[in-house]
Structure formats: C-alpha cells, structure tokens
C-alpha cells in the first residue's frame, strides 16, 4: 500500500475532496512510493482561503517576532537538513551530497531574510514643508503563490518563501507533483519554528491548482520557475488577472573556452556543470564553445574525466543519479539519437551506462557530443539531462555571436587567463548571470537570481533586494502634528516585542 501525500493547511494535513492522484516514484528503482493528491478547484480555494484568513494577523506581527521565527527555522533546518536531503534523493534521484548542497543554497536565502528589519527600513524627511514630515514604508502584498519545479524541490521554494514570510505575507506553495514531499517536510518545520497557522501552506496538484493560483483574486503575486513555454503562460495569465508575476524560464547555457584558458580547469568545470544533478539544472552548462585550436584537447580531457563518473542510486557510492522519470529519461535519450543522426560525434554514450542501482531505474549516463552545430536539435533545445555538446568556432567574435543570438539568456561562463577578454565578455554578453572561470554563476542570496530574454518574464529576479521589493509595496506618507502628546513615565529598559 502506497503513501498518500496530501496538502498542508492551517498547520495540519488536509486531504481535500478531490479523488485525483498521481504516482510518485523512486527514480533509482522505478518503484511507486506514493500517490500525491491532485487538488480540485475547491481544494485550491480552501488552501488560498486559509492563507487569506491568516494574513491580517501576520501582517501586523512585529518585525522582532517575525525575525525570531525566521531564526528558529534557520536553526532547525541546520540541525535536520540531512532529513530533507534524504527526501529529495528518494523522490528526485540526485545524490545525497548534491541534495545537501541544494538545501544549503536555499538556507542562504533564509539567512538573508533573517535581516529583514534592516531591509524594510523606509526613508524619512523631517520638515519637508513647515512642520510637515514625509516618509515611506514597505508593506506586504497578502497571499502569495509559489510554483516550484521538480529539479530543486527545496532550494527553489526557499528562493521565495523566506522573504515573502519575513516581509509579512502568507504563502501557498505548489510543489512539483514529481517530488512533493519536501514541501510538506518544510511546512512541518515552520510549525515547529513557531510560525502561526495558515502563514505557510502547501497545495499539491497539477494545472488545476496552478490555474487557481493564477486567477484567484485573493492571490496577489505568483513566483514561478520552470520551462519557458509554461513561464510564458504563467506570466500572461497571472498579469491578466492583476497579479505581480516573476516567472523564471528555461535556459541554454554556454561556456566559452578561449585558447589561453587552463584546459584542465575548464574540463573539470564542464564535467561538474554539465553532469551535476544529471544535468537537471537550469544553470547547467549544455554547450561548451571551444575557440580555435584547443577543441581536440578539450574534448579529450572532458571525455577522460566524464568516463570516470559513477552513475547510480543517490544513496550509494555514486557521483550522479538517475533522471526524474522514465518519460524524461527517454526524451533526453531521443536527443542523443537525433544528434547522432544529424552528424554529431558521440564521444561518450550515456545510453549504454551500467548503473549501480535498480534495473528499472531511470538511468542515463554522462554523454559527450562533439562537432555539434547550431542547427541541431541537441543544440537548439533545452534538454535538461546529462548531455554536453561541444561546438567548435574559430574566434572570440564567433563565440560571442553564438551566445548572443541564442533566444535564452539565463547563465553563461568564459574560461580565460586574459583579463581584458573576460572584461569585454561580461560587458558584451546578453545574459543575466555571468561566470568568469566559474561554470555555474549562481549568485549569493543577497544578490538576485534571474536571466534575460526568454529566460525571464517579468521585471523582478529572485531573492536579494529584488525579492524584498517584489513581495512588498511602497507607501509614501505626508504628516503634520499640531499638538504634542505625552506618553507618561516609564523608567524600565524598553524591549522589542
């Protein structure tokens, strides 16, 4: 008998009225380990209504008390992050060390949100006019929706909900139905940290749940991470219903390797960025652009390193786990078939992998393709798997044209020992996040995460000050007081409460 994974409302499990479910599998074995509830419209409305009812009290809770809850959540997460990592590995498939890294990167945003009193300070002008003061405050929006992808079931939600909660909003998190249990674990941790009931809620489901978040008038904003076609839909639908929307879409990330680069460093980076988390990262490098005569050496070095990667069950001695579902595994493998048919050279073939795991696991090993051209589907499409394509170009200008002509603009990197070339690249490249001798340029939490072009819809990036501004509205106040007031005598030391 499989476990039923339900919603979380008002600090307790909420079964809902819908009888629709979807299977949750262990990607390393192919075994169905649970059935996740798929919300009806009525279920989604009940979750949203609970968040709306909790908003006034949480909005009026002091910053001091909100911050105490944030700090408590941080400490509990530090103590028990291994539990969360194990849940991620069981449902997503990534190896435990990678899952722990995901939790740690999400924790950075929790720590950023712990400083929310400083980040919410407004401005003040005394005597702007005679005996008239002008000042500004930032106030929360209300109920905010977060729609999370399968590849980072803990980190991506933590890009949003710590800041949303710290600024006084209530949250409805809609996790991916492929790996829904991490959201419930975090909800229970919020309860233990002392967050009031209804402030953090989990809505399990599919498009029905998503559409209710996008159209329900009680939801004031939606944050989304996923593929570009869905990001476009989320942005168009949400904004048409008067919501703030930050929708982070897909990617096709290039790494440009110049002739003067340290090829050992570059090869290590290509393996790490191309095959980490089985390539299921929006910041994965999927196209290595070899400039000039270095291509043969670079390909050989990448192949040597990648051939030693151990693919297997994330709980065992493995470097890379399975893909998240059989359907996704088969789709990624079909791109390798297409690339080979189009003339790309298969240097390392993940379709033939011998994995340390169940025979029904969703296995695909590291795959390296050489002589890939910009017209091949293996180059044009976001594959989201462990497939690294090497594109050969003659000059720096050719490489820049390749990167800038791509419709995506999420992340990119350059490998070089020439400071002038690096500076020129960071200035000219039309991409939102840039690495210099760094393959996965994910910024720290106090900066903001987001791409350009078809990788982002909306004006706001995730976390950092963009996140604070997204989850609040500014109000300017002009005041005049004609008579002073007297508060009485109190010799005690004042306390925050």
Residues with catalytic roles: 282
Question: Nearest-CA neighbor of 278 among 180, 193, 383, 208?
Answer: 383
Element (H, E) at 435: strand 433-436
219 vs 237: CA distance, rounded Å: 13
In the chain, the largest separation of any two C-alpha atoms, in whole Å, equals 85
39 vs 7: CA distance, rounded Å: 8
Q: Are strands 21-26 and 433-436 parallel, antiparallel or unpaired?
A: unpaired
Compute, in degrees rounded to 10, the torsion defined by CA atoms 122, 123, 126, 132.
Answer: -70
Task: Tell me if 87 sits within 8 A of 182, measured CB to CB.
Answer: yes
Show the tokens assigned to 463: 């976390």
Neighbours of 449 (CB within 10 A): 27
Show the tokens assigned to 336: 């390798």
208 to 20, 122, 221: CA distances (angstroms): 11, 39, 17
Task: Tell me if 2 sits within 8 A of 31, measured CB to CB.
Answer: no
- Quick one: angle between helices 295-306 and 263-275, nearest 10? 50
Phi, psi of 216 (to 5 degrees): -70, 125
Beta-bridge partners for 414: 256, 436
386 vs 367: CA distance, rounded Å: 6
Show the tokens assigned to 19: 């009888």
Beta-bridge partners for 248: 225, 456
């Amino acid at each position: 008998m499989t476990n039923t994974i339900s919603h979380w409302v008002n600090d307790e499990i909420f079964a809902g009225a819908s009888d629709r479910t979807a299977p949750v599998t262990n990607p390393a074995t192919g075994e169905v380990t649970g059935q996740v509830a798929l919300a009806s419209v009525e279920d989604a409305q009940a979750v949203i209504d609970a968040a709306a009812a909790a908003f006034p009290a949480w909005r009026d809770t002091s910053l001091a008390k909100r911050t105490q809850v944030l700090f408590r959540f941080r400490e509990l997460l530090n103590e028990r992050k291994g539990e969360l990592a194990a849940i991620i590995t069981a449902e997503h498939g990534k190896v435990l060390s990678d899952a722990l890294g995901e939790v740690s990167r999400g924790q950075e945003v929790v720590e950023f949100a712990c400083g929310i009193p400083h980040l919410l300070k407004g401005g003040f002008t005394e005597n702007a006019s005679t005996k008239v003061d002008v000042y500004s405050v930032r106030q929360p929006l209300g109920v905010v929706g977060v729609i999370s992808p399968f590849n980072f079931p803990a980190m991506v939600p933590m890009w949003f909900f710590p800041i949303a909660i710290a600024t006084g909003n209530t949250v409805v998190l809609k996790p991916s139905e492929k790996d829904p249990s991490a959201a419930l674990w975090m909800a229970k941790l919020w309860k233990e940290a002392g967050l009031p009931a209804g402030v953090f809620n989990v809505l399990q489901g599919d498009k029905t749940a998503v559409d209710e978040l996008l159209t329900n008038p009680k939801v004031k904003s939606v944050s989304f991470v996923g593929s570009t076609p869905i990001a476009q839909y989320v942005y168009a639908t949400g904004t048409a219903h008067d919501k703030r929307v930050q929708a982070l879409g897909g990617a096709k990330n290039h790494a440009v390797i110049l002739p003067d680069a340290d090829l050992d460093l570059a090869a290590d980076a290509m393996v790490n960025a191309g095959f980490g988390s089985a390539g299921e990262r929006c910041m994965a490098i999927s196209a290595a652009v070899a400039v000039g005569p270095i291509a043969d050496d670079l390909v050989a070095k990448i192949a040597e390193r990648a051939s030693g990667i151990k693919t297997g069950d994330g709980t065992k001695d493995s470097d890379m786990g399975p893909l998240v579902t059989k359907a996704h595994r088969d789709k990624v493998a079909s791109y390798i078939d297409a690339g080979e048919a189009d003339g790309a050279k298969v240097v390392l073939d993940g379709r033939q992998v011998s994995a340390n795991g169940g025979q029904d696991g969703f296995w695909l090993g590291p795959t390296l393709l050489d002589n890939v051209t910009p017209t091949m589907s293996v180059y044009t499409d976001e594959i989201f798997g462990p497939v690294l394509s090497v594109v050969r170009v003659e000059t720096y200008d050719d490489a820049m044209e390749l990167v800038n002509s791509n419709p995506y603009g999420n992340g990119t990197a350059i490998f070089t020992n020439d400071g002038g070339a690096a500076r020129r690249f960071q200035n000219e490249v039309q991409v939102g996040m840039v690495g210099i001798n760094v393959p996965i340029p994910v910024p720290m939490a106090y900066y903001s995460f987001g791409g350009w072009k078809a990788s982002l819809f909306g004006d706001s990036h995730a976390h950092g000050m963009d996140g604070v501004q997204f989850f609040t509205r500014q109000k300017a106040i002009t005041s005049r007081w004609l008579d002073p007031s007297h508060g009485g005598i109190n010799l005690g030391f004042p306390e925050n409460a």
